[in-house]
Chain A
Amino acid sequence: RKEVEQDPGPFNVPEGATVAFNCTYSNSASQSFFWYRQDCRKEPKLLMSVYSSGNEDGRFTAQLNRASQYISLLIRDSKLSDSATYLCVVNKGDSWGKLQFGAGTQVVVTP
């Protein structure tokens, strides 16, 4: 099993719709969780950290489920500019500084 797994997609989403996707992680000792966004041929950029109680940033909501070892990202009222690859990032828990990236979930928002 990969340490961080994501559905590669693509998720084709009509503009204005809601899309949600998950990321599973294998290390139960992981403590830090993030969602990054990567546009084609660009560097990854932090979208949001994921907190135990769940958190929201505008149209984006992140959740953490420790029991089932997954995090989720929900995008409401999708915009064309939300089209990107969303990378799940999890720390390895027992190793200094090791943030593990998932391979990404591609989201395509269509007019």
Chain B
Amino acid sequence: DTAVSQTPKYLVTQMGNDKSIKCEQNLGHDTMYWYKQDSKKFLKIMFSYNNKELIINETVPNRFSPKSPDKAHLNLHINSLELGDSAVYFCASSPTENEKLFFGSGTQLSVL
């Protein structure tokens, strides 16, 4: 059983399209996150949700919209994709804030 699962693993799309990445955790954690890892390998937090409530919203373009239907799911929807959005997106969860993170296997997004 995968603890944090995200789909799809690879996403190749054209500029201007809208796409979604799904994430689910079966660890019973209260907190979920989206991280972006760019070509320089730097992991940067985008969003954090605690029990379905948005806690952290870093300076991310509003084309990115997270949605948490319940505390086990945190999806990421991206509108009007741009070339600069190409990166690996990791979903993660933790029992509470500032605790160790459990990551999904990542979604490699390529915008052409």
Mark the stretch among A19-27, A70-78, A97-105 that contacts chain B.
Answer: A97-105
Given A43-B90, A43-B104, A43-B105: A99 and B98 interface contact (C-beta under 8 Å) = yes
Complex interface bits, A6-48 against B, C-beta within 8 A gives 1, otherwise 0 = 0000000000000000000000000110101000001111100
Given A43-B105, A98-B56: A104 and B98 interface contact (C-beta under 8 Å) = no
Cβ of A83 within 8 Å of any chain B Cβ, yes or no, is no
Query: What is the interface size of chain B, counting residues whose CB is below 8 A from a CB of the partner?
Result: 24
Cβ of A49 within 8 Å of any chain B Cβ, yes or no, is yes
Cβ of A87 within 8 Å of any chain B Cβ, yes or no, is yes
Do the beta carbons of A49 and B42 come within 8 Å of each other? no
Query: What is the interface size of chain A, counting residues whose CB is below 8 A from a CB of the partner?
Result: 22
Give the most central of A44, A49, A85, A91: most B CB within 10 Å: A44
Least Cβ–Cβ distance between B11 and chain A, in angstroms: 15
Do the beta carbons of A42 and B105 come within 8 Å of each other? yes
Do the beta carbons of A99 and B45 come within 8 Å of each other? yes
B1-53 interface with A by 8 A CB criterion: 31, 33, 35, 40-45, 48, 50
Do the beta carbons of A46 and B101 come within 8 Å of each other? yes
Do the beta carbons of A34 and B41 come within 8 Å of each other? no
Given A97-B56, A99-B45: A91 and B105 interface contact (C-beta under 8 Å) = no
- Bound complex: CA A98 to CA B55 (Å): 10
* A103 surroundings in chain B (CB, below 8 A): 40-42
Do the beta carbons of B48 and A97 come within 8 Å of each other? yes
* A101 surroundings in chain B (CB, below 8 A): 35, 42-44
* B43 surroundings in chain A (CB, below 8 A): 44, 87, 101
Complex interface bits, A79-92 against B, C-beta within 8 A gives 1, otherwise 0 = 00000010101010
List B residues at the A interface (Cβ < 8 Å): 31, 33, 35, 40-45, 48, 50, 55-56, 90, 97-106
List A residues at the B interface (Cβ < 8 Å): 31-32, 34, 36, 42-46, 49, 85, 87, 89, 91, 95-99, 101, 103-104
